[in-house]
A = this chain, B = another copy of it.
Amino acid sequence: MITIAVDAMGGDIGPEVTIAGSALALKRYSDMRLIFYGVAQKVEPFFKKYPELSDCILYATQTATKMDEKPSQALRNGRGKSSMWYALEAVKRGEADACVSAGNTGALMAMSYFCLRMIAEAERPGIAGIWPTLRGESIVLDIGATIGADADQLVDFAVMGAGMFRALYHVKKPTVGLLNVGVEEVKGLEEIRKASHILRTVQSESLEYKGFVEGNDIGSGAVDVVVTEGFVGNVALKTAEGTICQAARILADAMRQSFLSRMGYFIASGAFRRFQKKLDPRKVNGGVLLGLNGVVIKSHGGTDSEGFASALRIGYEMVKNELLSKIVTDLCHFHEKSSILSVLQENVE
């Protein structure tokens, strides 16, 4: 049985979506158990609507973290009080295996950091997102946990991202690329070149380092894991989302323009559905907070029940496939090998 603590209050819409999404997920996974945290009077009306939830417990909390609270504010107002905090604490106390929230990202980061703390092997948390590509799906991190990252942090992101890819897709040695403005070794920022050097030298057994990749390589699926710092990752993700919306709008407008095009659209509607399905952002909704002492999933705030169910699925998969122990082992091995190599290097010099 895998138990997930659900912050029922998070998201732009709140309980209506989180509860409906939870009911969907429970129907799909017989070994999934959910426990809910939320303000009783807001959650209960939806809770009662779904027979799938009849066995679930709802813990009533005093408050909910607002979507526009700053991380420091959210922490002050929500610590020991809000649904988000309680859901995280359930993971800390071992009552749940993972926490899923569609709430305020900054608040979730800050609370996770204070409640669960980092694993000893990682310095900084990262948020890993699943990116649909031409080859399937890739993982991109950090998509916005922190701004800026030094070479060691980028290397840790690479190892953790590869661990997550293995947990999700059962690939033995995922390919990893560092996001840069060119593929030549001389290009880009000092930190990125240094991280590239480390990844190339250490030759980890848990990943296959492929060098630099560029923005257009993400969508083509050139590598399984794309590593970058949070500012660039966030801009890249949102730019891609914006571009998909834009293309879909232009296509829809073009199809509406004449009688012939409307007829063609009608006849090929199955193909359009396949197209939409392939690019449906809900399928891959759920950023995984990596580096923490616990599995925490951030669902998109604006998603619907189907999207929230995906976030629950990702949490479930992460636990089932032992993400945490994979990451800890991989980081340990990597740091060990890396420090042996640097001692050898120093002796040679």
Contacts and interface: CB of A to CB of B under 8 A. Distances in A.
Interface of A: 68, 70, 133-134, 144, 147-148, 179, 181, 184, 186, 188-189, 214-220, 228, 230-232, 234-251, 254-255, 257-258, 260-272, 274-275, 278-279
B255 A271 contact: yes
A271 B243 contact: no
A268 B266 CA distance: 10
A228 B236 CA distance: 13
A116 to B, nearest CB: 23
A235 B237 contact: no
Contact of A279 (B179, B247, B260): B247
A267 B267 CA distance: 9
Contacts of A179: 235
Contacts of A236: 215, 235-236, 239
A62 B189 CA distance: 34
Contact of A246 (B214, B219, B234, B237): B219
A214 B169 CA distance: 31
Nearest to A264: B268
Nearest to A179: B235
B271 A257 contact: yes
Given A242-B217, A242-B218, A260 B249 contact: no
B215 A241 contact: yes
B238 A240 contact: no
Contact of A239 (B239, B247, B274): B239
